[in-house]
Structure 1
């Protein structure tokens, strides 16, 4: 039986960057995907464009509208919890709207996940020795390596690239990963690994995830991470470290922590 994968595409002011034709062509070629676009409170005509795109295939395209901009973490989390309630979807992924990692690369990650019953998560990597055709601004590469050092210190896991915006999960682990609100708008990928590490332990985690080299990855101009966000990265890392490693005296219910209510967004 064909497994269906739902792909979340968070969108914030993507009117001039989102390539509708590529998404439509992908759905024409691949019948085992459902695209879930999450409009993260865009101030341009992104929502209008997404609604027009949905008309191409209403059964295979969903559009979620967040009234206010809340950041990539909440956009992805909202999409994940929405897709988890759709019975016929088996895997849930997320991918950047600019397609710096292509839909074809995502398909490769999904194939890897479906081919191994022991795996519960597969993610792309721009930093493995096998990765090819990775185009990136030198300054961003230096900053990425600097931040990566601190990420490794926090995670204590042999993962080379936590921040690549292409990840796919089996539906069975979605609740463990996405039921709680994330601390950081942009560094939530680190929290994903920390949550899985806490839930199943290091040994089982390493045997159930796979970091796959990308054949290509292209940095697209128009990043939504502002200069202010860049300066806040060290603070965000410190907050993540403190919240995940401090001694907790009690545990809250997931429903208490995940405070994004359904009336905060609308499925179009």
Structure 2
């Protein structure tokens, strides 16, 4: 029996970047996918465009709308919890709307997950030695490597690229990863690994995740991370480190502090 995968695509002011044809062509060629677009409080015509896109296949395209911008982390979390309630879906993934990682690359990650029953998470890597055709701005590459050093210190895991926006999970672990709100709007990938590490344990975690080199990844102009966000990255990392490692048992946990309900409505 074919396994169905739901892909979350968080969208914030993507009207001029989202390629509708690529998503439609992918659905036409692959019957084992559902797409869930989450409009994260866009102030351009993104929501209107997504509503038009939904008409291509109303049964396999969902559009969720967050009226206020809350960041990629909340958009992905909202989509994950929505897809987790759909019985036929067995895997849940997320992918950047600009398709810097292509839908075809995502399909490769899903096939890897489905091919090995021991795996619960597979994610793309732009930094693996086998990765090919990785087109990235040299300044952003430097900043990524700089931030990556501190991420590896926090995680204490042999992962080369935590921040690639292409990850797929078995549905069985969604509750443990996405039931609580994330601390950071943008660095939530780190929290995903920390939550899995806490839930599964280090040894078992390394046996059930797989970092797969990408055949191609192209940086698309129009990043939503502002200069202000870049300056806040060290602060976000400190908040994550403190919340996950320094809160004592007689204090509120990070999940308790950030256990906030997210309101959205589904576009019909």
**TM-score surpassing 0.5?**
yes
Which runs of no fewer than 5 residues in structure 2 stay unpaired? none
Find the counterpart in structure 2 of residue 243 from structure 1. 243
Q: Residues of 2 paired with 1:255 and 1:83: CA distance? A: 23
**C-alpha distance 153-62 of structure 1, shift in aligned 2 (>3 A):** same
Q: Distance in 2 between matches of 1:17 and 1:253?
A: 35
CA shift at 1:225, angstroms?
0.1
CA-based RMSD:
1.3
Q: 1:169 aligned to 2:165?
A: no
Q: Which residue of 2 aligns with 1:9?
A: 9
Structure 1 runs not aligned, ≥5 long: none
Matching of residues 1-268 of structure 1 within 5 Å: 1-246=1-246, 247-249=248-250, 257-261=258-262, 264-268=263-267
What are the superposed Cα offsets for residues 59-81 of structure 1, whole Å, 9 maximum, x if unpaired? Answer: 00000000000000000000000
CA shift for structure 1 position 170: 0.2
Structure 1 residue 258, shift from structure 2 partner: 3.0
Separation in 1 of the partners of 2:245 and 2:209? 22
Q: 1:102 to 1:252 in 2, by over 3 A?
A: same
TM-score relative to the length of structure 1: 0.97
In the alignment, the residues of structure 2 paired with residue 117 and residue 251 of structure 1 have an alpha-carbon distance, to the nearest angstrom, of 36
Give the deviation of 1:260 after TM superposition.
2.1
**1:259, CA displacement in angstroms?**
1.4
Deviation at 1:256, TM superposition (A): 8.0
- Contact 1:179 1:255 (C-alpha < 8 Å) held by counterparts: no
Maintained 8 Å contact 1:17/1:98: yes
